[in-house]
């Protein structure tokens, strides 16, 4: 029975990658509890585990006495003679080996269950510590299951199950069982079972690690990635800074004929990457972040973190980007809310016909507005409240509700109009490639 127990747990320790000394300590603790259950809490014992021989020996120590008062720690002279045939004097120490069979089958099964539980707890702690220390690092695993309902990808890494949720995937990638997948460890959560390890391909940290792998100067700290703005699978902007005047940060990241940046682009399923030089000067940094558009003028309000950029009419589509993507990423990268203004065109305030809200206002109230000459939304919300009350004869609280409803509707429609206009202005020409001539402080892949 000793050999079976040691052999089974030695095999488990090897499969789980547990340290032998840790396993020996667990076995000693568990069998120590068995001894205390059978012989009492005051029992003196010693447990020797020999992993090489596959053996467990349990020694029970008792004091030889003339008359026993505590059976858990004492043994009589007569009992010693019956067990060994030898005569011992009171005060001497008697040591005997306890056979495993003496504990009974139920106690041994309980010990096995406790050992299993302790090993599982150590395994969970080991997994948690391993991946907690790896947060922000890239792991490579094999896809072994795709949960179609929830969109999760289960990946096997070092015999541990890790999860790539739908929210952390690059939306246009398609995964297959058996594919090798690279991702960054984003989060480790403790639970009732094994820890849940969340990995990501959409997190900006994944892009940082790819840059470190492909560009030695970043790994060595000569070039620093200062900021990243990313819309996974579509486009990213990366601001870099060289700590060595002899090294061009953008050129080092792009590589000869774009070989370095193209390796990263391929890993990210052809995600476009703009690499620009970082600057502490907001004016310069905003100008670079808006590439490939050329700006006429940049105005910055440092207090409100807002900026307006003036561009020529033929640069508007480049400045805004598809669906407003270029200006949106530039805003994320710089931390400024950037507004694009077209040169030579005065910005007209957006307005809507009041008839768009006829259903919300009701026919009676709509006709009241119309009869008093209020035909557009702005004509209503820009008129003093006292004039509207006098002209329409409605209560102030009711008027406040109407004005707020019209204002919200106008703002929502204006946002939709801006996005639609930006999308319509997208050029059909493909983006510039790194090996094409580029400005000294910016490159796009």
Same-domain pairing of 51 and 153 = no
DSSP, residue by residue, 386-406: HHHHHHH---HHHHHHHHHHH
Question: Domain for residue 288, yes or no?
Answer: no
The pLDDT of residue 157 is 92
Question: Domain for residue 242, yes or no?
Answer: no
Question: Domain for residue 68, yes or no?
Answer: yes
What is d(CA 31, CA 112) in angstroms, rounded to the nearest whole number? 10
The pLDDT of residue 36 is 84
What is d(CA 84, CA 98) in angstroms, rounded to the nearest whole number? 14
The pLDDT of residue 418 is 61
Question: Domain for residue 287, yes or no?
Answer: no
pLDDT: is 74 or 239 the higher one?
Answer: 239
At residue 8 the predicted structure's pLDDT band, cuts being 50, 70 and 90, is low
* Mean pLDDT on 389-396: 83
Same-domain pairing of 21 and 119 = yes
Decide which of 184, 202, 220 is a domain's last residue.
202
Comparing 25-34, 99-108, 204-213, 411-420, the range with the smallest average pLDDT is 411-420
Same-domain pairing of 119 and 169 = no
Same-domain pairing of 78 and 180 = no
- HSE-CB of 354 using CA atoms within 13 angstroms: 22
Q: What is the pTM of this model?
A: 0.63
* Mean pLDDT on 255-261: 89
Question: Domain for residue 410, yes or no?
Answer: yes
Task: Indicate the Cα dihedral angle 378, 379, 383, 385, nearest 10°.
Answer: -80
Q: Which residues, including other chains, have CB under 8 Å from residue 295's CB and lie 6 or more apart?
A: 287, 309, 310, 311, 315, 319
| Residues facing 49 on adjacent strands | 56
Same-domain pairing of 114 and 139 = no
Decide which of 202, 217, 242 is a domain's last residue.
202
The pLDDT of residue 247 is 92
**CATH code of the domain in which 365 resides:** 1.10.150.20
Question: Domain for residue 75, yes or no?
Answer: yes
- Which is nearest to 285 in space by CA: 338, 244, 359, 243? 338
Decide which of 185, 202, 219 is a domain's last residue.
202
Go through the chain and tell me how many residues it has.
Answer: 445
Residue 122 has pLDDT above 60, yes or no: yes
Same-domain pairing of 6 and 99 = yes
Question: Domain for residue 49, yes or no?
Answer: yes
Average pLDDT, the chain: 83
Beta strands in 123-192 (DSSP E): 138-147, 152-157, 160-164, 180-189
Structural domain harbouring 150 = 134-202
Same-domain pairing of 66 and 146 = no
**CATH code of the domain in which 178 resides:** 2.40.50.140
The number of folded domains in the chain is 3
Q: What are phi and psi of 180, to 5 degrees?
A: -85, 135
Digit-coded pLDDT (tens) for 327-373: 999 999 999 999 998 876 555 567 788 888 888 888 788 888 877 88
* Mean pLDDT on 38-66: 81
Same-domain pairing of 91 and 147 = no
Residue 4 has pLDDT above 80, yes or no: no
Q: Residue 403, class by beta-carbon neighbours within 10 Å (0-12 exposed, 13-18 middle, 19+ buried)?
A: middle
Same-domain pairing of 14 and 107 = yes
At what angle are helices 20-39 and 105-132 packed, to 10 degrees? 150
What is d(CA 278, CA 295) in angstroms, rounded to the nearest whole number? 17
What is d(CA 243, CA 223) in angstroms, rounded to the nearest whole number? 6
Same-domain pairing of 111 and 155 = no
Same-domain pairing of 176 and 122 = no
**CATH code of the domain in which 114 resides:** 3.30.1480
Same-domain pairing of 49 and 76 = yes
Question: Domain for residue 31, yes or no?
Answer: yes
User: Going by DSSP bridges, is the β-strand pair 44-50/295-301 parallel, antiparallel, or unpaired?
Assistant: unpaired
Check: CB of residue 155 under 8 Å from CB of residue 161: yes
State what percent of residues in the chain have pLDDT above 70. 86
Q: 């006829």: which residue's tokens?
A: 358
Residue 84 has pLDDT above 60, yes or no: yes
């Amino acid at each position: 029975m000793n050999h079976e127990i040691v052999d089974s747990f030695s095999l488990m320790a090897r499969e789980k990658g547990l340290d032998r000394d840790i396993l020996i300590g667990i076995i000693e603790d568990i069998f120590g509890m068995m001894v205390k259950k059978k012989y009492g809490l005051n029992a003196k014992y010693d447990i020797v585990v020999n992993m090489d021989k596959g053996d467990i020996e349990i020694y029970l120590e008792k004091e030889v006495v003339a008359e026993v008062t505590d059976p858990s720690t004492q043994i009589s002279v007569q009992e010693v003679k019956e067990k060994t045939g030898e005569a011992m004097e009171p005060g001497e120490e008697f040591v005997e080996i306890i056979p495993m069979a003496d504990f009974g089958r139920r106690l041994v099964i309980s010990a096995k269950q406790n050992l299993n539980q302790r090993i599982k707890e150590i395994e969970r702690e080991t997994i948690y510590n391993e991946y907690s220390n790896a947060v922000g690092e890239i792991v490579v695993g094999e896809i072994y299951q795709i949960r179609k309902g929830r969109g999760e990808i289960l990946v096997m890494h070092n015999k541990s199950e890790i999860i790539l949720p739908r929210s952390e995937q690059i939306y246009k990638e398609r995964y297959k069982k058996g594919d090798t997948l690279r991702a960054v460890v984003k989060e480790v959560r403790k639970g009732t079972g094994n820890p849940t390890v969340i990995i990501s391909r959409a997190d900006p940290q994944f892009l940082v690690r790819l840059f470190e792998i492909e560009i030695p100067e970043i790994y060595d700290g000569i070039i620093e990635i200062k900021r990243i703005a990313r819309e996974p699978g579509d486009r990213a902007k990366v601001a870099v800074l060289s700590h060595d005047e002899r090294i061009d940060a953008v050129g080092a990241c792009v590589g000869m004929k774009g070989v370095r940046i193209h390796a990263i682009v391929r890993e990210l399923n052809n995600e476009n990457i703009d690499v620009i030089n970082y600057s502490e000067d907001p004016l310069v940094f905003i100008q670079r972040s808006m590439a490939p558009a050329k700006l006429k003028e940049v105005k910055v309000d440092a207090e409100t973190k807002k900026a307006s950029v003036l561009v020529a009419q033929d640069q508007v589509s480049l400045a805004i980007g598809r669906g407003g993507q270029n200006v949106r990423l530039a805003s994320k990268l710089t931390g400024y809310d950037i507004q694009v203004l077209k040169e030579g065109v005065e910005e007209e305030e957006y307005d809507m016909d009041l008839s768009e809200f006829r259903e919300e206002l009701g026919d009676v109230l709509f006709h009241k507005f119309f009869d008093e000459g209020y035909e557009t939304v702005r004509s209503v919300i820009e008129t003093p409240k006292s004039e509207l009350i006098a002209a329409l004869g409605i209560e102030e609280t009711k008027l406040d509700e109407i004005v707020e409803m019209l204002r919200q509707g106008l703002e929502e429609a204006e946002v939709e109009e801006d996005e639609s206009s930006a999308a319509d202005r997208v050029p059909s020409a493909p983006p510039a490639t790194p090996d094409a001539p580029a400005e000294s402080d910016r490159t796009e892949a």
